[in-house]
Structure 1
Amino acid sequence: MEKVKDKSADAEEHGKGKRSPKLCGTNYPVSIAFIVVNEFCERFSYYGMKAVLTLYFINYLGWDKNMSTAVYHAFSSLCYFTPLLGAVIADSWLGKFKTIIYLSIVYVIGHVVKSVGAIPDVGDKTAHVVLSMLGLILIAFGTGGIKPCVAAFGGDQFDEENIDERRKFFSIFYMSINAGSVLSTIVTPILRGDVKCFGDDCYALAFGVPAVLMIVALVVFISGSGLYKRSPPEGNVMVRVCKCIGFAIKNRWRNSKTSPERSHWLDWAEEKYPKRLIEEIKMMLRVQILYIPLPMFWALFDQQGSRWTLQATRMNMDFGGGFVIKPDQMQMLNALLILVFIPIFDMGIYPLIAMCRIKLTPLRKMTVGMILAALAFCAATVVEVNVIKTVVEPSPAKESLVQVYNLMGSDVTVQFPGQSVFSEPLKSHEDPVGYTNLPLNGESQLYTVNVLQNGAEYHCELTFMEQTAYSLFLHPAQPGGTVCKLVEDHITKSETGAAYLRFINTHTENINITVGTSEFYAAANYGISHNVSVPRGLYKGVCKTDSNQYQIDLGLLDFGAFYTVILSEKNSGLTLKKMEDIQANDIHIAWQIPQYVFLTAGEVMFSITGLEFSYSQAPASMKSVLQAGWLMTVASGNVIVLTVAEGAGMEQWAEFLLFAGLLVAVSIIFSIMAYYYTYVDPDQLDKLFGDDTYNEKMDGSESKKNKMLSLTDMPKQTKM
């Protein structure tokens, strides 16, 4: 997404300055090498940090999925609001060079603060949240502030006669963006999951490396300072546009009753502003009106890093041969696919459609791009419906979940008075039949559970809380005790794809168990260890009693599964039985590929085409304003997601389907708006106004009035 948008940031006028030294045998300035390397490092730092952000919120800060999604998209939204601030600072006060340096320093500080906030020893949870949010705000101001400056500053380095070289530079610049994105979304999840620090996933390192890359980006950019051609700030056109619009509204409000009606409300600014500026604003606003439905596309697109990543955590990520992908690495597919799809569309699909004599105008391409994005979310819905089959849903209010383990040595019958749950006999030492909903008469209820075994009857008084899952272990009666042991269960699957493991010790001695780097303790005579998450893999363990030591083979602990291992004494040895409480993730992560294919194809048709259309339909002076408007659609799309995430309260598959349906509806509205849009040629303004500039007030002579044409009077071209 952003990788495409950054490609077209060369909308500013290039000021005059010194000639930069050239790379050997070319017309390329040496200075662009520093800019390209700077962009690669900056994009690495941004996408690398963002790739692990959602899992950081959930696993480190302990937020739920909806809260994590909302904050993720709030951050993304801020990153696309702040380019307006960066453009104003660069064009009105500091110039692009100083703006890049000063805001890059803010950017670096944000990364450092974010990394420090991920160190467990730094304060309590509140301190971690404060540091993390402060770091993200600084990063948003840094990355957003330099976004409209870097590419345009690179374009400034070329002499006016080197147009071809400048065009190729933006292709190189675009490649550096994608290279940084692909590499970072591969590397930082590895740093997060494969490197352990402070006894857990190393988020401090996953954020620290992008911080180092941003420092490198700043140092590289400053190193080339003696070679850059710099343009002084010339005033921000967005400020000028806002003043003109404001004056027109105010003048109309004051004088509409005493002055003749005018053909367009912007014409009320003619007393103060040049007619060329007014006509250019009219052209710009006609395109901006078409932007109104566009945020819905970005609302779907930006969920790759939030909802789609969370979906991936509940899937099988093993590709065989020891190659296991991490859930937050799937985002790299978008960057890879877009590099493949752009030439395929430009040299294959579009020419083929043209051969079929189908007029595929820019607005039609954008509409098709929306439909493809909606199809991506339909595919995500199908995947989600199958993924949740391996998930145990929490119980609703006034119900709890319970599963029963029969360790009694023979079949038993369990009776909950007044309820029909567990009506069938339970066989000994077999996997439990799964969690069953147990109705309660309030927030909690005391049940006298009857356990029948071979004519003997036992009674257990057990209290169950609503919206809580339990395992009820039935074991031979202990002296002075009962046959029941009720344990509260953790049923939420790990967001990193890890498995959960616990042990039941039927041995007469206490047992300490070591599995990988995890330690367990289970007391004698049916003691139950705590639940620990372990990364997916093949495991062997060591069990130590007071008198002996045993080796155990646990086999594969698979993605997202919950295991209960029963340790028993047999023939002076130790045997185990591994039970799967909750099913492992059995939907392969490769099933996400179709949704990435649809979404990336939609991006190519929507995002690239949208930028090209916007630039072709607006005069050169308005291109920066249109880019600001385009970035605002991205920001607004993220606001839509965080609103739905916090307010909808829907199941994930239903939310995906809702977004798909909304985008289809929006695409219909957009296609209707596009049908009535009339394409114009901005170059006609040069013929109409000649050398008129913004700083000159056009006179009121009749000849010039006759030259004025409204947009509706311009020659009409093909619709949509």
Structure 2
Amino acid sequence: MGEVHRKDDDLYTKDGTVDYQGNPAKKNETGTWKACPFILGNECCERLAYYGMSTNLVLYFKHKLNQHSATASKNVSNWSGTCYIMPLIGAFLADAFMGRYWTIACFSIIYVIGMALLTLSASVSGLKPTCSKDGVCDPTLAQSAVSFIALYVIALGTGGIKPCVSSFGADQFDDDDEVEKKHKSSFFNWFYFSINIGALIASSVLVWIQDNVGWGWGFGIPAVTMAIAVVSFFSGTRLYRNQKPGGSPLTRICQVLVASIRKYKVAVPAEKSLLYETADAESAITGSRKLDHTRDFGFFDKAAVQVESDEKKGSIDPWRLCTVTQVEELKAIVRLLPIWATGIIFSTVYGQMSTLFVLQGAAMDTRVGNSTFRIPPASLSIFDTLSVIFWVPVYDRIIVPVTRKFTGHKNGLTQLQRMGIGLFISIFAMLSAGILELVRLRFVQRHNYYDLEEVPMSIFWQVPQYFLIGCAEVFTFIGQLEFFYEQAPDAMRSLCSALSLTTVALGNYLSSLLVTIVTSITAKDGKPGWIPDNLNRGHIDYFYYLLAILSVLNLGVYLWIAQWYTYKKPVGPLR
């Protein structure tokens, strides 16, 4: 009998995943790297579509929708921010009701509809803005509205894809199988690698098409690519492992809060084994392993203290008594929040690539060498992408094995150490951008180039700032992906992935707010301010230095928070 049981254990996954028919997932027929090409292919195409729009969007707003530099920059930041807030909706639906597979599928179709509408708004006569021969466009309110409706439909579509794809990919590796678990960390590296392959094509080929062929083609190609992404995802259906949705995570959090407040006078027993937990090996929460009790945030433990009134009732009222696992779910979220908050400033720095970096590049010489070919300013983000493509294999194949020898940690660096290194590198990205702008402005002053559209100083001087941000991404963003997946309770992984993405949203909103504040303070009494339409008369270097100072302060706070972080402790396999 023991032999048969052991064979069954080897046949099926132990983390509770099921196949596309809802049966326990067989190890040799589902998941692992054989399922990943379809997921990575979907992500590569979706990111190509996203960056195909967003990389150059600030210039579309400025030239086609006739917006001022600061307005265009704020509108891009606000839209990007919304793209990273919407994942909270998609993640909630995935964890509570739909599961990750169906959430990705449904929201991908919404995404394609938005892309099609955006393409029509840039190519169909009557929907696209009318422009004079000298390139000045005069869009009607309705034409601008159609563009923005399309963009915000796309933002809704991203809401179901962004928080679920990385978690869905990680679900393909069994947490309770040591061999498969080792591959999970590598998956996050290669997942981010596939994102940047899509971004590479977007920031080179697509940006050039938008600037030289037309915006209809420039938006149309990403729309077709997104349709291919949907096909790629559905193609792997039979190979996927799926986590069952565990019910509303927000309801469970509220239950712990209500129960602990109701019992605020109740003393927590010194013997933690007396706290309420289901007797079964499995957790009461579908798709979740039990979690071991932790000492911090002891107030929430009151929700798991069983009193006489709980015992008298025939059935357990979850609004009065919660399991230890349910309490630990809330504690895990509370522990993540300070780490999450420190990601906002990093995302503000990252967001400059699609706003001020592009405007800075547009004020420089965009010619390649002595040729007549001009590189679109937004295409410089290709160096951020190349940096990521360079650093991901270096990190996976060199840094991890080398640091593993010194630290003894299976991944070389802990996720918190990895993220901290990225925050440190991002400071130098802002200093690099600020120093370049200082040199450029001195060049303008020396030669009286104030009214020159392109200062004769090569745009390729921007390469170091893009390369440094790419390096910082490999440490911070990939570290975040893995950290929020690993530290999330099993039945809240989509929600926690969405939480990590909201740092990008809040980073964009913070960038927009800082631009508004800086403009209102510096552009007074006829002064052009730090970020005028003519950057030759502005001081965006001061804005970069401001972000560098905020990044230093943020790193200090992060190091202090990381000192006391407690990693979660799951108890045994799911089944």
Q: TM-score, normalised by structure 1?
A: 0.59
The 5-angstrom pairing of residues 567-582 of structure 1 reads none
The superposition leaves residues 513-572 of structure 1 with CA deviations (integer Å, 9 ceiling, x where unpaired) of: xxxxxxxxxxxxxxxxxxxxxxxxxxxxxxxxxxxxxxxxxxxxxxx2xxxxxxxxxxxx
- Per the TM alignment, residue 29 of structure 1 is displaced from its structure 2 partner at its CA by 8.5
Pick from 155, 161, 164 the counterpart of residue 140 of structure 1: 155
Pick from 330, 334, 353 the counterpart of residue 380 of structure 2: 330
Q: Distance in 2 between matches of 1:665 and 1:343?
A: 31
Q: Distance in 2 between matches of 1:232 and 1:296?
A: 33
The 5-angstrom pairing of residues 518-533 of structure 1 reads none
Q: Distance in 1 between matches of 2:33 and 2:461?
A: 46
The alignment status of 1:213 with 2:266, answered yes or no, reads no
Q: Distance in 2 between matches of 1:21 and 1:285?
A: 32
The alignment status of 1:107 with 2:111, answered yes or no, reads yes
The 5-angstrom pairing of residues 348-427 of structure 1 reads 348=398, 362-389=415-442
The 5-angstrom pairing of residues 161-180 of structure 1 reads 163=180, 167=184, 173-180=191-198
Q: Distance in 2 between matches of 1:605 and 1:171?
A: 10
Asked which structure has the greater CA Rg, the reply is 1
Q: Is the 8 A contact 1:41 1:180 kept in 2?
A: yes
Q: Is the 8 A contact 2:117 2:150 kept in 1?
A: yes
Pick from 220, 234, 237 the counterpart of residue 245 of structure 2: 234
- Per the TM alignment, residue 603 of structure 1 is displaced from its structure 2 partner at its CA by 2.0
Unmatched 5+ stretches in structure 1 = 1-11, 196-201, 393-432, 437-490, 494-559, 561-584, 694-720
The alignment status of 1:314 with 2:348, answered yes or no, reads no
- Per the TM alignment, residue 21 of structure 1 is displaced from its structure 2 partner at its CA by 13
The structure carrying a bigger strand percent of its residues is 1
The superposition leaves residues 454-512 of structure 1 with CA deviations (integer Å, 9 ceiling, x where unpaired) of: xxxxxxxxxxxxxxxxxxxxxxxxxxxxxxxxxxxxx583xxxxxxxxxxxxxxxxxxx
3-state secondary structure, aligned to 1:586: strand
Q: Is the 8 A contact 1:116 1:131 kept in 2?
A: no
| 1:617–1:143 distance in 2 versus 1, CA, 3 Å | closer
Q: Is the 8 A contact 2:94 2:245 kept in 1?
A: no
- Per the TM alignment, residue 434 of structure 1 is displaced from its structure 2 partner at its CA by 6.2
Q: Distance in 2 between matches of 1:325 and 1:388?
A: 21
The superposition leaves residues 362-401 of structure 1 with CA deviations (integer Å, 9 ceiling, x where unpaired) of: 4344333222211111110111123334669xxxxxxxxx
- Per the TM alignment, residue 321 of structure 1 is displaced from its structure 2 partner at its CA by 6.0
The alignment status of 1:47 with 2:47, answered yes or no, reads no
The superposition leaves residues 65-85 of structure 1 with CA deviations (integer Å, 9 ceiling, x where unpaired) of: 111111111111111111121
Q: Is the 8 A contact 2:19 2:25 kept in 1?
A: no
- Per the TM alignment, residue 153 of structure 1 is displaced from its structure 2 partner at its CA by 4.3
Q: 2:209 maps to what in 1?
A: 191
Q: Distance in 1 between matches of 2:54 and 2:346?
A: 20
Q: Distance in 2 between matches of 1:148 and 1:614?
A: 11
Q: Is the 8 A contact 1:617 1:682 kept in 2?
A: no
Amino acid at match of 2:219: F
Q: 2:546 maps to what in 1?
A: 658
Q: Distance in 2 between matches of 1:268 and 1:228?
A: 43
Q: Distance in 2 between matches of 1:147 and 1:65?
A: 29
- Per the TM alignment, residue 281 of structure 1 is displaced from its structure 2 partner at its CA by 2.5
Q: Distance in 1 between matches of 2:199 and 2:449?
A: 43
The alignment status of 1:295 with 2:344, answered yes or no, reads yes
The 5-angstrom pairing of residues 210-609 of structure 1 reads 210-222=222-234, 227=238, 229=240, 231=242, 233-236=244-247, 238-248=249-259, 251-252=260-261, 254=262, 256=264, 259-260=266-267, 264-270=298-304, 271-320=320-369, 322=371, 324-348=374-398, 362-389=415-442, 491=451, 493=453, 560=454, 585-609=455-479
| 1:117–1:370 distance in 2 versus 1, CA, 3 Å | same
Amino acid at match of 1:296: I
- Per the TM alignment, residue 604 of structure 1 is displaced from its structure 2 partner at its CA by 2.3
The structure carrying a bigger helix percent of its residues is 2
Q: Is the 8 A contact 2:31 2:240 kept in 1?
A: no
| 1:20–1:388 distance in 2 versus 1, CA, 3 Å | farther
- Per the TM alignment, residue 307 of structure 1 is displaced from its structure 2 partner at its CA by 0.9
- Per the TM alignment, residue 610 of structure 1 is displaced from its structure 2 partner at its CA by 3.6
- Per the TM alignment, residue 682 of structure 1 is displaced from its structure 2 partner at its CA by 1.4
Amino acid at match of 1:367: G
Q: Distance in 2 between matches of 1:152 and 1:354?
A: 25
Amino acid at match of 1:593: V
- How many residue pairs are counted as aligned between the two chains? 481
- Per the TM alignment, residue 133 of structure 1 is displaced from its structure 2 partner at its CA by 0.9
Deviates more, 1:360-369 or 1:644-653: 360-369
Amino acid at match of 2:359: L
| 1:333–1:112 distance in 2 versus 1, CA, 3 Å | same
Q: TM-score, normalised by structure 2?
A: 0.73
Q: Distance in 2 between matches of 1:366 and 1:165?
A: 19
Q: Is the 8 A contact 2:338 2:561 kept in 1?
A: no
Amino acid at match of 1:636: L
The superposition leaves residues 400-443 of structure 1 with CA deviations (integer Å, 9 ceiling, x where unpaired) of: xxxxxxxxxxxxxxxxxxxxxxxxxxxxxxxxx9699xxxxxxx
3-state secondary structure, aligned to 1:587: strand
Unmatched 5+ stretches in structure 2 = 1-14, 128-138, 270-296, 305-319, 520-529, 531-538
- Per the TM alignment, residue 299 of structure 1 is displaced from its structure 2 partner at its CA by 0.6
- Per the TM alignment, residue 187 of structure 1 is displaced from its structure 2 partner at its CA by 1.3
Q: Is the 8 A contact 2:44 2:197 kept in 1?
A: yes
Pick from 86, 89, 93 the counterpart of residue 85 of structure 1: 89
Q: Distance in 2 between matches of 1:376 and 1:138?
A: 33
- Per the TM alignment, residue 310 of structure 1 is displaced from its structure 2 partner at its CA by 1.0
Q: Distance in 2 between matches of 1:259 and 1:20?
A: 42
Q: Is the 8 A contact 1:119 1:204 kept in 2?
A: yes
- Per the TM alignment, residue 302 of structure 1 is displaced from its structure 2 partner at its CA by 1.6
Q: Distance in 2 between matches of 1:29 and 1:355?
A: 26
